[in-house]
């Protein structure tokens, strides 16, 4: 798995090789060596290192007798090292949505919350009731909620130290309503109560979840 988050953190020679691959889509050792002004041996060493990091993969092409030719290409992890403009795009989309009528904004942000709910619930399909609570906590952890659990008898106090939707929730109540439905569906037990709500001024959102033994 790639350990880098930017091309700038790569060895300069490997950065050049990655850029050549980006331009060509797929390239042989010979092409990479020629364009990077490297020997074949040095190119192979650098490419093997990039393969080991999960940034590059290769296919073998056979052309008659002799050793097959390596054709290298960027992996999905390698592609992400090149400039991405997700934050700028997200800011532009948010600005566009905020310029719409209140009903439109609420529908959009509610659907965002519903998408978050679907990602969480997808992790819980087929989970046995006896392990549902533990699996739900794990799924919510992976989705950025940072749940903290304390037991009060047969009730679990589940507090979320982070809310991935807090940036839009205060202005769009539909987001919190969708999130609450997500929590009830995730834990899948009767009697769940919301005991604290960040939008209302509490330090964290907290749910009281009965634990069925």
Q: Tokens representing 104?
A: 């439109």
Average pLDDT over residues 122-143: 87
Residue 69 confidence (pLDDT) above 70: yes
> For the residues of 121-157, what is the DSSP string, one character each?
HHTTTT--GGGHHHHHHHHHHHTT--EEEEEETTEEE
Q: What are the sequence ranges of the domains in the chain?
A: 7-79, 86-210
Note the pTM of the prediction, 2 decimals.
0.52
User: What is the DSSP-derived secondary structure letter of residue 203?
Assistant: S
User: What is the DSSP-derived secondary structure letter of residue 15?
Assistant: H
Mean pLDDT of the chain: 84
In this prediction, residue 137 carries a pLDDT of 92
| pLDDT band of 1, cuts 50, 70, 90 | very low
Each residue's pLDDT tens digit, 144-155: 888 999 999 999
- Cβ burial of 71 (10 Å; 0-12, 13-18, 19+) is middle
CATH topology of domain 7-79: Arc Repressor Mutant, subunit A (1.10.10)
């Amino acid at each position: 798995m790639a350990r880098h988050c930017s091309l700038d953190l790569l060895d300069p020679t490997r950065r050049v090789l990655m850029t050549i691959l980006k331009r060509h889509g797929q390239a042989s050792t010979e092409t990479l060596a020629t364009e990077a002004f490297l020997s074949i041996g040095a190119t192979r060493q650098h490419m093997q290192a990039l393969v080991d990091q999960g940034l590059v993969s290769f296919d073998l092409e056979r052309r008659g007798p002799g050793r097959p030719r390596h054709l290298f290409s960027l992996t999905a992890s390698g592609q992400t090292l090149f400039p991405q403009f997700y934050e700028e795009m997200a800011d532009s989309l948010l600005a566009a949505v905020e310029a719409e009528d209140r009903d439109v904004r609420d529908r959009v942000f509610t659907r965002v919350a519903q998408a978050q709910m679907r990602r969480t619930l997808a992790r819980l399909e087929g989970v046995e009731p006896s392990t549902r609570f533990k699996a739900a906590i794990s799924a919510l952890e992976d989705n950025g909620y940072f749940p903290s659990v304390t037991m009060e008898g047969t009730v679990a106090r589940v507090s979320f130290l982070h809310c991935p939707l807090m940036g839009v929730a205060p202005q769009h109540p539909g987001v919190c309503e969708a999130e609450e439905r997500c929590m009830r569906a995730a834990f899948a037990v009767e009697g769940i109560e919301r005991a604290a709500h960040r939008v209302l001024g509490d330090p964290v959102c907290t749910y009281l979840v009965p634990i069925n033994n």
